[in-house]
Every structure is written in structure tokens, then in C-alpha cells.
Structure 1
Amino acid sequence: MRPLWFAIALAVASMLAPAGASASVQARISKSTQTMNVYVHGALYASWPVSTGRGKYATPSGTFRPRRLERRWYSTKYSNAPMHYAVFYSGGYAIHSTAEVSRLGSPASHGCVRLAPSHAAQFFSLVRAHGAGRTVISIGR
């Protein structure tokens, strides 16, 4: 077992790591399988069903960093729809909770990535704990 000072030094070093350092948290979202795999320090943490954008409301593909976290948020575009545990990654697009859990596993949103409330809360907590600069969101086919 390592001494306490070593653990503290390691924690401080990881907080001071340059922005280009590898991500602590990775969210890999597949629009074709409607799943989100979350990795923490390279190890699979969870695999959850999601709902991405449907029809003309396609979820944008690409690699993003979180821009903003909102514990309680309501859409300013879609009739104040709740978007709790929102991790915004591109403009108004976010990964957030949904009450429509029966629709998870198929495209159903206006472009955001929807998760079950407990999964959205877990992801939100991971991003907040590890930091937006140490989180990468990848969205592909």
C-alpha cells in the first residue's frame, strides 16, 4: 500500500495535467445502436440505452468537450421541456435525462442525447468530478 502523501501527490498531479492530456471520462455514443458507453480511465464504466435525434432533428456527429453543466434546466426552444442533469457539448445540444424512458433505444429527441434519469445523474456526476477538460464526448453512426 502506498503512503498517503503519494496518493495526494498523484491527485494533485492529475488536476494539474495539461488540457491535452488523455481524458479521464469518455462517452462514446452510437446513433446506430442507440447506446452510450462510458469509460473512466480507459475502463468501461457503463453501457446505457439512449435516444438521439430523429428525422430532421439529427444529433450532430463528432468529438466534443462539455461546455456547461446544468443540474436543473428547461429548454428555451421546446416548450420548457425538462433537461435535468444536462451536459451541454455543442450549442444547445446536451446529454440529459428524460421522463420518456420507454423511448430509450430508438431515436426520439430533437437532437439531444437522452438518458434515463439515474444514468444522466451518474454521467453528470462523473463529468463534474473529473472536469469538463478531462471529458470527451464522441458521437458517431
Structure 2
Amino acid sequence: MLAAPLVAKVDVSSQTMTVYHHGQIVYRWPVSTARSGKWTPRGTWSGKWLSKNHKSSLYDNAPMPYAIFFRGHYAIHGTNQISKLGRPASAGCVRLHPDHAAILFHMTQSLGPKNLKVVIQN
């Protein structure tokens, strides 16, 4: 695995996130990535900045609790559309159950965003 204390690996084809802490799998959660017509970027980034009670500036102030931004407007964040987790539904961000988003947010906050690697692959 990547040499980072915390890794959030998103598998777009299975709509899951696997969280590694010091190389060990600690969580595996369902996610929602981009719905048809939208795009979730593929690649590897470090966490950039955190926003606990974020509201989308692009999508009608949509709630984005526990947002971890990793590339421009793209973030991992909680969603109130829990029933859609496990299938594509977002405008491009990686959506998590709010409880899971809070766990990842607090882990990232304690280690520092630059110590989070976000890996998104097909």
C-alpha cells in the first residue's frame, strides 16, 4: 500500500472505500461516486483541507458534512442520501454515510490532511 499513515482507497466499480491505517485495513464502507453524466476523478492525491459543516457552493448549498477536499472542488463527505450509497449518485464527490465520514474526518484531522492519501480507481 502507499506510504502514508492513512489511505482512503475508492473502488469506483464496486462503489466501496477501504480505509487503511498504517497499512492495515480498518474500515470498508459503501460510497457513491459520480452518477451518469458526471465524473469522479481517478488518481492519487493528498488531503488538502477539511470543512466540518461544509455547504456546496456549486450545488444549491447541498450539505457536505465532514468534507475532506483532495482536488479542487472534489471532496470525500457525508451525505443525507444514505439510501443511494453503494451506487453512483453524486456530482463527482465521494459520498459516505455521515457516521463514516465523521470517522474518516476525525482520523484525518488528528494526523493532518497531508497524511491522508486519497486513491480513486476503477
| TM-score calculated relative to the size of structure 2 | 0.96
1:40 and 2:21 are equivalent in the alignment? yes
- C-alpha distance in 2, partners of 1:133/1:105? 27
Partners of 1:115 and 1:134 in 2: how far apart? 20
What's the counterpart of residue 42 of structure 2?
A: 61
Q: Which structure 2 segments of 5+ residues have no match?
A: none
Match of 1:51 among 25, 28, 32: 32
Name the counterpart of 2:78. 97
Task: Report SS of the residue matched to 1:102.
Answer: helix
What is the aligned counterpart of 1:123 among 87, 104, 121?
104
Query: Which protein has the bigger strand share?
Result: 2
Matched-pair identity in %: 45
User: Which amino acid in the other structure matches residue 6 of structure 2?
Assistant: V
Pair member with larger Rg: 1
Gaps of 5+ in 1: 1-20
Which amino acid is the alignment partner of residue 119 of structure 1?
Answer: H
In the other structure, the counterpart of 2:121 is 140
Answer yes or no: is the 8 Å Cα contact 2:47–2:115 preserved in 1.
Answer: no
C-alpha RMSD over aligned residues: 1.1
Name the residue aligned to 2:12.
31
Q: Which runs of 4+ in 1 moved over 2 A?
A: none
Whichever residue aligns with residue 11 of structure 2, its letter is S
Q: Normalised by the size of structure 1, how large is the TM-score?
A: 0.84
Asked whether the 8 Å contact 1:22–1:134 carries over to 2, the reply is no
CA distance in 1, matches of 2:25, 2:78: 21
Q: Tell me the CA shift for residue 118 of structure 1.
A: 0.3
